[in-house]
Structure formats: structure tokens, C-alpha cells
Structure 1
């Protein structure tokens, strides 16, 4: 029994597709992040992501090209299932494109609308207005602080009759410094928030105190020189996170300036990036579609091939499928059908054997009766001569005796072959190297028929079979003789030795191919039938004996023939166990 597996030998598993899809997604995200970082900030991006993305796309393109080339090769070679694979692949691709085209249109429209909205938002003018307002607010505070320094209300705050918050909410502190005899300054009065307290005066001159941006002080100071020994310092708040807000405005202005620098090229950049990102995913989807078409068609192709082999008469075919295979029910039904056919064929063969032996008995009786008739006539002729003229019996005695001896020899030959067929001794099995035995038999025929080109092909020279040497020798003699007769002693005779496996057993397959006239179609079903022959001189038992020897060795024999093109006989013999294990 020969089992055919329906396992899907796909080079691209679903797990591999998901892995590559995840890898592509990560690389595309990193590439987009790197591109945006480089073009909208001052950070230099890493080109490695771009190179990895291009490398993956290149590999996918090469892989897809190889798959499509195999696709076309199968279609042009009219391989089984190729057209169905193409139709399924085309269906998946049409479905994919029907999904991608509207999605791509939506994405491109969205990008265009975003860019258009961006341009219409007048972000540059808004940022310039924001900067103008921040600068105006800062200048207003400077102007107010300068006026406040000259206002007598500070003296009132100094005496403690009024709080600083009553003067202005942003007035953080009022501090007085007095110079000592040695010119050193020290604080003599402070009122306000602790953040505004100073241990030393920031300046000894009247006017604004320069801000120190590196310290990010959220206030401005103004110094008032009252006299040579007295200084007042006023601290006025700029508002919470003043410097951070200014920095954010500056960064936004820088980014907007960068965008405006290639504003005309921005749509093209987005479309190129979009294509660069989606193209590998499209290629991956294409490969998955081809993979799915293979997974769907392979079991159907295997089923078709098995059905074709069954149609040719090989009922040993069985299909193996995964327990979760979608076609499990169909495969089980197919195997059940083959088993029933095999049972029916076995029963038909048994009936045919019974009919065959009945026919064989009739044929044997007929064949025996044929030589008995001339023997009887010759004997009667001698007896009649003896009765009529005993002196002249010599005239007919010699011819009659020769005829009797000739017909007796024919009868002996017939009975000898019948006995060999019906009482074939059981094979004496031994370990035989098949190649030397074939070459030994072929050497005899090669010397006797120089006009025949003998070709031997041995794929496994060390093959050994478990067989009876004399009976195997008889098989080769019979098959070689029939091939030589079919070629009329000139042509090409090819002998091939190969290793085949059936279930858990190994066999040596011997094929003998001739270039003769072939076997007529109407005669092929009777080739192994006893006493069937198309030769003028022959008993018709040769191939019947060969078939029986092969079967008793646990092997099989069959043939393929086309009239006018020659015949090939195949013989499978079990390998010797140790020889099988070496394989």
C-alpha cells in the first residue's frame, strides 16, 4: 500500500507571515519617527531604519519574484492545479486591491486636507502675534516697575502701613540695603515673598537689574539709590513659568520655520513615505495570497493525482491528511472508495482464478488432444500396412515413427511447462546482490545479440534482495527473450534498478524497457493469462510463470506498453532487511 501525504509544503507559514508583518510594522514606525525627528527637530536621525526597510523590501521582492516565476513555470508546463492556483491567487489579489484602493484614497485625501488646513490656519501669524503680546507684556511690566519706583506709595509700604499686594499682585518684594563704615552692604529691611530676598544688593546704581536667564528667575528687579548709604531693591513677578513659555514659543517658531522651508515638497514627502511604508505590506499580502492558493490547491492536486493512479489500476494508493484538515471528510471518503474497489477487485480476481483454472483444464485437454490425433493416425497407418502387406511395412514405418516421436516430444514439452507452472517449487530465499545477477544474465544475451544496445542504470549499487537465485534468473531470461523477440533482435534494451518504499517496506524496482512493436491494446489484459500467446511458436506460459514467481517472492509485476513505441515491464522485489536499513 502506498500512502500519499497531503501535508502542505509551503515555504511561507502563517507564523512566518505574522513575524515578518510585526517586524515590518516596527521598522516602519521607527523609520517614520526617525524621519519626523530629523525634519522637525534639530536631532540627527539614524539612517539604519531606512536601510533595514529597503533591505526587507528587497528580500520580499526577490522572494515574490521567485514564487511568481514558479507560478508561471507551472502554468506554462500545464502542471496539475496550476490554473486553479492562478484563479485563487487572482481572487485574493483583486480582494486586496479592492480594499487598498479606497483606503489609500482616504489616506491621501486626509493628508491633503491636513496640509491644506495647516496652511489655512496662519500659524506663522499666530506665533508672531503671540511673541508680540509676550514682548508687549514684558515691556509693560518694565514701564510699570519704573513708574512704581518713583511712586511715594513704596515709602508707605516701607513704614508698614500698606501691604505689597495692595500696591500690585505681582509685586514680590521690597528690600533695603545700608552700607557700613567699610563700604560693605547688608540688608536692613525686607518685605514680601522669600523668593525675592537677597543677601547682597544686585546693583549699586539706580535702574533695572539685568536678568540672568540661566537661573530662570521668574521676576525682574529695579534698584533705587536713596542716598550714598541706602539702596532699595524692588522685585516684580513676570508670571509663572515665564521663561519656559518663551522657550516654547521659540521652539514652535523654529519648527514652523523648518516646515515652511520645504512646504512645497511636504506633500510629495508624505506620499513617498506612505508608499514606502505600505508597499512592503502589499508585497507581504501578495506572498500570503500565493501561499494560501498553494495551501488550498495542493490537497486537491494530490487527490487528482491519486485518482489518476487509481484509474490506471494502482489501488494501493492511500491519502494521508492532518486530523484538522478541511478536506478530511473528502479524503476519508476517497480512501473508503479505494478500499471497496480493492475488495471488489480481489473478489473478481478470485473468481477469475476459478474460471482460469477451468479454462486451463479445457485448454490443456485441447492441447493434449492435438498431438494425440497424429499419433493415432500414424499408428493406424502402420497397423493397416502390417495387416495388408507385412513385407512393405518399412515404407510407412519410418515416417510414422518420426511423426509419433515428434508429437510425443511436443506433448512432453507441453506437460513439462504445465508442471512447471502448476507445481512451481517454493522459492529458496537467500541474500542476493541484484546488480551482478542482472549483469550476468545480460552478458549472455549481449554476446548472442550484437545488434541490440543493452543499457543498465543502477541508482543504488549496493541493493540486495531476498530471493531464489534460479527463479530470478528465470524471470530475467523470460523478460529478456520476450523483449528481444518484440524488437526482432535489434534495438535498445534498457534495464534500470532503483529503490522504492511502500509503507514501511523497501523494494528493488527492476524496469526492463524495449523499443519493440509494443503490445496491442486488445491483448494487454491477457498478457499474464496462461496459454495466451501471439507467437507462432510458444506455449503462452512464460509470463504466467514469471508473474507467479514474483508474487511468491512477495513482489509485484506490471507493464506499460504503447503499440509501436515499445513495452516496459516493472518488477518490485523486497529488499533484504539489512540492505533496507542501510538505505
Structure 2
């Protein structure tokens, strides 16, 4: 019978599943890390799905690990092959994971503390605040410079050339204050009469401050921002509107906004620095635990792979010890233990062939011994038959008239011996043609009681005592053959006590051998016992210590018990009695 070891399909599927879970965990870590570090709450359907998966995944892994641990505990309790070795492997793998994770955890915690202390140090806060103040100071300085120059006497003196040479006027103004980037002059009709300076600063219409001088509102354009100052200048009868402009740097506003936002975020994180650190620790733990659980699951799967060939070999050796020499192990080609498995299978094949040869030899030897014993038993009655026949023949030849004197005794002797031969051959036929048992579920206590009742009536001087702790012991047996077993054993016990005063004690009990349960039947008598030198021959065919026995009773008993997958043996003390023990497999488990 070829038996395949457990296929690795389940383990491979488990490893693939664990690998996919590992990829999923990496994706969740990548996604949520960005969310945590940005401090932005995750929203939307996708975010909710990912966050739900982040909570469900560790819980599912934890439950799966608990299921495997419970299964392992049950395997240990039931002493299943490889359970303790698997436990040692899992503990070993788990210890390796912990030894690897502890230094990494310490380094990570240390890194988080150092990074947070560095990120939120007062120096960085001061630098951000200083940059923001510098931007604001630069902006205010540009305004003050523009206003001071426009309201100063130098600018008013330079405007005296507004009609004669506006270009020279602009040159003088720009030389006096390089921060002035353009000038534009409007007449009383609000028409632009002169513009010079940076392109992109020209106005399409004349601005107005209700006839007053002053700083115009800041103007933001696509590529720049402008600060403007308006001044009304009278030259004779003409009135001019003069607008000078100063351009701000292109990225000044973006820089100021970024510094402002960074300062707000910095102050928020600095205020909640301890909470943020705790959040990072929780986040790290939240994704470290699933990794540890995944490692434990991998240890379960790998331990199954490691112990599978060993368990198969253990099961094979157990089956062999039970007498099944046809057991074979099938394993994957290329497996590390495939050579050992092949050697085991080859050994079993050779052992099975050798066993068959031995059984054949033993069978031939047994039949030769039976034939020798049968010939011996046949010769015993043939001798008196021959002698009686020869005596009759001599009498008939010498004195036929007086043959009646010996005729009846001789013929009586011949008939007696022929009957003995017939009985001998009948028992031999029964022994050699013993039918296979017709099994059915029977109460063994009932079978014993019914057989015992016959002998109690026939031999009233012998005391029968039957005790049991269980009244419902059900066995899968042939009731007729089992009654024959009990009848032969009771008969032998009665004959050992010469049908005189004595006692026979019968007891049934439940025993366990290995992983199997048996019903043990004990039959003890107070007879003469069996000589120690003859005990090894008790179950041999035609061996008997009785003058009228055939020597086939106990061999038939042994054959019946063997056909019921049971065992029979005895203990005997000369002069004190004999005890026979029978173990029969249970139909169901008790206790």
C-alpha cells in the first residue's frame, strides 16, 4: 500500500498568502506614514478602506495565530506525531524574530526621539521666525524707502525738469534712489505723457487719491508685485500726476507665505511634541505587531514543511511495528529527505520480500510439522487396529471354531480406534478449514455469561466468578467463534481441575496500548498449572498433556483471536493454576 505524505500544496498556498499580506502591509505602511507625517486626516472612500484594512489586518492575523496555537496545543495533548518538535521549531523561529526585532526597535525609537528633538529644536524655530521677520522687514523697508524719497525735498526739486526734459529727470531720480524702478506722468486730462523704467510697471489709466498725495494700494501682477506712490505736481498752469513704482522680488510673497505656514506648523508640532512622539510610537507598534505575527505564521508553515517528512517516517515505522510491511512513503522529488525516504521504501520492499519468504518457509515448516504430528497421531490408533486384525487372522487360521472368543473384543477395539481416527480427522479439518469470522457488534459480557452458564450447569462443583466494571463493552466479533474460544478455555480449566472442586475467575476490563483501546479478558483457574518446559508448546498443533486430547483446541483459539486482530497469552504456575489473557480491539472508545 503506497501512502503519500501530506502534500505541500496547503503550505505553499499559505506562504503565498503570507507574502501577499506582507505586500499589503508595506502598502499600508507607505500610505499611512505619509498621512501621519503630514498630519492630514485621511478622507474619502479609498482612505477609509485603507484605514479599515489597517485595523482589520492585525486583528485577523492575531486570530489566525491563536487558531494555530490552539491546534498545536490540541496536537500536544493528543500526543500527535511531531507536535513537540513543531513546538520547539516555532519557539526557535519566534525567538530569532524577537532577537532581530528588539535591536531594530531600540534603534528606531532612538532615531524617532533624536529626529523629533532635532526637528522641533528652538534653533529651527528661531530660524523660521527670523526668516519670516526678515521678509517682513524687507517689505516694510521698501515701503518706507519709497515714501521717504517721494516726500523728501530732493524728489520735488528733480520734478522741476518735468516739462523741459522728463528723461533726464528720470535719470536723476533713478541715480538718486536705485530702488525706484519706474516713473509715469499723466497730464490734467489723465493721459499718460511719459513712462520710463521696468517694463510691466506701466499703468493704463491714471490712479487717483482724491487729489491728495500718498501711497497707492499694492498691485499684484502675474509675474511681480508693485509698490506705487502718487504725487500731484504743478508746473505753471499745468497739473501733472506723477507715479513712481518700486518692484518687489518675484518670490517674496511665496517665501513669506511658506515661512508663515511653516511657522504655524512648527509651533503646533512643538506644542504637541510629546503627543506626536507617542503617535509615532503607536504607529510603529501598529505595524510592527503584524510583522511579528506574520513571522510567527511563517514559522508555523515552515515547521510543517520541516516536520512533514519526519512525521511520515514516524507513521511508517509505527505501521511497520504493527505488522503492515506494505507501507510506502511518497515524497516530492528534490526534497532534502527524498534520499532517506527512498532508502526507507527500498528497505521496506526488501523487508516485505524477506518476510514473504520467511512466512512461506514457516508455512511449509508448519505444515511439515503438522503432517509429522498427524502421521504420529494416525499411527497411534492404527497400531492397535493392526494388532487386533492380526490376532483375528491368526485365530481364524489356527482355531476357526473358537474365533468367537476374541472376535467381539477385537472388533470393539477396532471400532473404538476408528472412531478416534474419525474424531482426529474431523478436528484437523475444522482447524485447517476454519472460516473467516462473520463480524458484528456484540456485547462481550453477554457472550461470556451465556457460555459460562452451560459449564456452571454441567460442573456444579466448580465455582464460576465473573466481574466487570463495564456492562456495555461492545466488540466487533463473530459471536459463534468467540463462544468457541470461551468454551475451549473453560473446558481446559475444568479438565485441569479434573472436574472437581475449584474456581474459575473471569474478569473484563478496558486497557489502552499506544493510541488504541482494547478489551482485556482474564480467565484464571485453580488447576494443576502447566510445566514451565512445556509452556512454549501450548499453542502448537497436536501438543497436549491430556491422554484423550487432540492438541488442536488452543491452536484453534489462537487462530480465532488472531483473525479478530487480537492477542492471547497466558501465565501459569505449576500447582497453582493458569491465567489466560485475551486483548480484543474495541468497537468504540470508552472513558
Question: TM-score surpassing 0.5?
Answer: yes
Residue 160 of structure 1 corresponds to which residue in structure 2?
167
Residue 550 of structure 1 corresponds to which residue in structure 2?
none
Q: Where do 5+ consecutive residues of structure 1 fail to align? A: 428-433, 459-474, 495-510, 548-555, 571-583
Residue 277 of structure 1 corresponds to which residue in structure 2?
287
Aligned CA distance change for structure 1 residues 449 and 154 (closer, same or farther; 3 Å): farther
Residue 366 of structure 2 corresponds to which residue in structure 1?
356
Q: Is 1:209 equivalent to 2:216 in the alignment? A: yes
Q: Is 1:566 equivalent to 2:579 in the alignment? A: no
Residue 177 of structure 1 corresponds to which residue in structure 2?
186
Q: How does 1:454-473 map to 2 (within 5 A)?
A: none
Residue 52 of structure 1 corresponds to which residue in structure 2?
53
Provide, for residues 454-501 of structure 1, a one-character-per-residue CA deviation record: whole Å limited to 9, x for no partner.
98899xxxxxxxxxxxxxxxx95874455544785999999xxxxxxx
How many corresponding residue pairs? Answer: 512
Task: Give the one of 309, 334, 338 matched to 1:328.
Answer: 338
Please report how far the alpha carbon of residue 248 of structure 1 lies from its aligned counterpart in structure 2 after TM superposition: 0.1
Q: Is 1:539 equivalent to 2:552 in the alignment? A: yes
User: RMSD value over aligned CA atoms?
Assistant: 4.8
Q: How does 1:474-553 map to 2 (within 5 A)?
A: 479-485=481-487, 516-517=521-522, 539=552
Aligned CA distance change for structure 1 residues 49 and 362 (closer, same or farther; 3 Å): same
Residue 69 of structure 2 corresponds to which residue in structure 1?
68
Provide, for residues 371-425 of structure 1, a one-character-per-residue CA deviation record: whole Å limited to 9, x for no partner.
224434655777799889977957x766654543343233234445656888999
Aligned CA distance change for structure 1 residues 534 and 321 (closer, same or farther; 3 Å): farther
Q: Is 1:302 equivalent to 2:318 in the alignment? A: no
In 2, the alpha carbon distance for the partners of 1:421 and 1:558 equals 16
Please report how far the alpha carbon of residue 211 of structure 1 lies from its aligned counterpart in structure 2 after TM superposition: 2.3
Residue 580 of structure 1 corresponds to which residue in structure 2?
none
In 1, the alpha carbon distance for the partners of 2:2 and 2:335 equals 20
Please report how far the alpha carbon of residue 24 of structure 1 lies from its aligned counterpart in structure 2 after TM superposition: 1.7
Residue 500 of structure 2 corresponds to which residue in structure 1?
none
Structure 1 contact 172–236 (Cα < 8 Å) conserved: yes
Residue 574 of structure 1 corresponds to which residue in structure 2?
none
Q: Where do 5+ consecutive residues of structure 2 fail to align? A: 454-470, 492-505, 511-515, 525-529, 570-579, 587-591
- Classify the secondary structure of the residue corresponding to 1:201: coil
Structure 1 contact 493–512 (Cα < 8 Å) conserved: no
Provide, for residues 530-563 of structure 1, a one-character-per-residue CA deviation record: whole Å limited to 9, x for no partner.
667999566367589999xxxxxxxx96724265
Q: Is 1:82 equivalent to 2:109 in the alignment? A: no
Residue 7 of structure 1 corresponds to which residue in structure 2?
7
Structure 2 contact 186–240 (Cα < 8 Å) conserved: yes
Structure 1 contact 175–233 (Cα < 8 Å) conserved: yes
Residue 219 of structure 1 corresponds to which residue in structure 2?
226
Please report how far the alpha carbon of residue 524 of structure 1 lies from its aligned counterpart in structure 2 after TM superposition: 13
Aligned CA distance change for structure 1 residues 291 and 512 (closer, same or farther; 3 Å): closer
Residue 404 of structure 1 corresponds to which residue in structure 2?
414
Aligned CA distance change for structure 1 residues 335 and 43 (closer, same or farther; 3 Å): closer
- Classify the secondary structure of the residue corresponding to 1:70: helix
Structure 1 contact 170–239 (Cα < 8 Å) conserved: no
Residue 504 of structure 1 corresponds to which residue in structure 2?
none
Please report how far the alpha carbon of residue 245 of structure 1 lies from its aligned counterpart in structure 2 after TM superposition: 0.9
Residue 465 of structure 2 corresponds to which residue in structure 1?
none
Please report how far the alpha carbon of residue 201 of structure 1 lies from its aligned counterpart in structure 2 after TM superposition: 2.7
TM-score (norm 2): 0.72
Range 362-371 or range 352-361, more displaced: 352-361
Residue 277 of structure 2 corresponds to which residue in structure 1?
267
